[in-house]
Structures are given as structure tokens and as C-alpha cells.
Amino acid sequence: MDRPVFRGYFLHPRFWPLWLGLGLLWLVSLLPYPVLMRLGRWLGGLMYHLARSRRQIAARNLELCFPRMSAAERQRLLRENFASTGMTFFEMAISWWWPADRLRKLGSVEGLEHLEQARADGQGVILMALHFTTLEMGGGLLGMQQDMYGMYRPHKNLLFDYIQRRGREQRLLGVIERDDVRGMLKLLRAGGVVWYAPDQDYGAQRSIFVPLFGVPAATVTATSKFARLGRARVIPFTQVRLADGSGYKVMVHPPLTDFPGDDEEADCLRINQWIEQAVAACPEQYLWAHRRFKTRPSGEPKLYRKRRS
């Protein structure tokens, strides 16, 4: 969990396009919040037309998860989801680079008493998040009111990984690489709070198949294992971008009771049921462009079209 260190090779010409892009994003992020959100909607509309493969993945996920919706309803939801995805780029910049006083004005946090109770009881917390497009804003706003660490997957681009870590650590105590299980458990046993999102497809090796929106989904068993080995509570939290354009509401929900249980499959099912409830409350802001059902049970057909080479 060492702090990110600037490296001289980040000045190599191969990184110049990324520096230019990040610099432009930083400059644009100085604009007022309503302007940034309008720009985000425009960018999302552009992505809808240009990012064909991601649009197909998102459309397929909506078809699988909301089969009772009409085609027209799913199409409207798909377009709104891309608008939300476009806003994500500017929300990322806001979360990483805005001064704390300015960022704090954009959101309210409810349910901090659940975290305070865990601290009073001397227990660590797995702060269970979901991959909503507003994820960076939720972590940033909550991180200013609650000491916490975040788990993350290092980016392949070393410069972007450096910028991402620096940005997130403006609001967090630090970040833990996803494979650093020992480090995570040490923090949990010491009463720490770790931000962790278990709602993506990480392959069959780490998962078991349980239903998600009625579709068998490879679901990681790590959440219950971490909770058991770290002697920690699992407390979900979500965030929503408010419809009136005024900012965000972050909600820390009550901890999962009697969790973990004696059955990993039952634990995974409970998590997926909670995910269904949270996503159904705000489906347009969820990250549908991820191939959530890529890994299939043995003998089952693939659910996504093959990518063209």
C-alpha cells in the first residue's frame, strides 16, 4: 500500500497523448457542474453511435436482465445508460481533482451510523459497492466522511494507473491491489473499512454459478471468505445521481445479517439478490457495458456475440 510514485519515464513521448487528454479533462473539469453533466450527456450520445461493441454488450445485458420490458423501453434505457456513462468521465475528474469543499457540496451521505456502530463494536467492514457509473463519486463523497481503503485492479497503462491511484487517494486512506488478500485481511482484523465491489465476472476459478436476474452468473465467493477470515461485517453502500441535477445521494445500508453463513452458494445468492434490488432501483446508472455473463456453466452456449478481429 505504498503511495504512488512519479517515474521519469512517464515523460516519454509514448505517454504524451495521454498527458494531453488528461490535461484537457482537468481543464474542462473546472467548468460548473451543470455544464459538465450536459457535456457528459453529449459524450454519451456520441459513444452510443461509435462504441458499437459496448452498445451491443449493454443491449444484450438489458435483454437478459429485463426480459419483460418492451423493446422500446429497453432502447430508451440503453440510450439513457450511455448518457450516464458519458457523465462518468467528468465525474471521475470531479472526484479526483476538485477541492474537497467544492466536492462536498455535491452530495449528502445517509446511514453513517452503521459504520459508526461497527467501529464501536471493534469490527472491520467490507464496504460492498456496485459498479454503477457513479462509482467514483460515491467513493469520493463517502471517503471524505469515513476513513476507508479501496480495493482496485491496477491499470495496464502505468501512467493512467499512477493518476488513478493519486486521484483516489485524495479521498481514501490508501488502495489495495485486488490480489493483495493478506493486506486486506490485515486491515479488516484491525477494524479497518475496505471498499470492495464483487459484482463483475472474474471467471469460473474464483466463482460459483448462482442466479442474477434469473440468469446463472459466475459470482465470486470472496465476499463471504473475506468476511469470515477478516472477522468483518458486510455493509453495502450505493450512490445515485439525482434527477434534478443537484448532485448525489450516498446511502450506507444496514449490514447483511447472519453473514457469512454456512453455505457459500447461499451467501452468493444473497449478494446477487441484493444487487438485483439495488440495480432495479436505478438501472440507467448501472455499468451494463461489462460482459457480466461471459463465463458460462459447462455445456451452456455463449451469451454474447464474438468480437470481430
273-298 pLDDT per residue, tens: 999 999 999 999 999 999 999 999 99
Strand partners, 210: 217
pLDDT exceeds 90 at position 3? no
Burial code of 219-231, b = ≥16 C-beta within 10 A, e = fewer? bbbbbbbbbeebe
Please say whether the beta carbons of 192 and 124 come within 8 A: yes
How far, rounded to the nearest angstrom, does the alpha carbon of residue 77 sit from its chain's CA centroid?
A: 19
Residues 289, 85, 137: CA angle, nearest 5 degrees: 115
pLDDT exceeds 80 at position 93? yes
Which residue type occupies 263? D
Which residue type occupies 75? Q
Global pTM reads 0.93
What pLDDT does residue 179 have? 87
Mean pLDDT rounded to a whole number for the chain? 95
| pLDDT average, residue stretch 34-62 | 97
Please give the span between the terminal C-alpha atoms of the chain, in angstroms, as a whole number. 38
| DSSP per position, 184-220 | HHHHHHTT-EEEE---S---GGGEEEEEETTEEEEEE
200-218 pLDDT per residue, tens: 999 998 899 999 999 999 9
What pLDDT does residue 2 have? 66
Please say whether the beta carbons of 133 and 286 come within 8 A: yes
What pLDDT does residue 152 have? 86
Q: Where are the domains of the chain?
A: 10-285
What pLDDT does residue 309 have? 42
pLDDT exceeds 60 at position 308? no
**Residue 164 CB contacts under 8 Å (≥ 6 apart), including other chains:** 96, 152, 155
How far, rounded to the nearest angstrom, does the alpha carbon of residue 176 sit from its chain's CA centroid?
A: 15
What is the rounded CA–CA span in Å between residue 238 and residue 276?
A: 13
pLDDT band at 153 (very low <50, low <70, confident <90, very high): confident
pLDDT band at 305 (very low <50, low <70, confident <90, very high): confident
Burial code of 168-194, b = ≥16 C-beta within 10 A, e = fewer? bbbbbbbbbeeeebebbbebbeeebbb
Q: Helix, strand or coil for residue 94?
A: helix
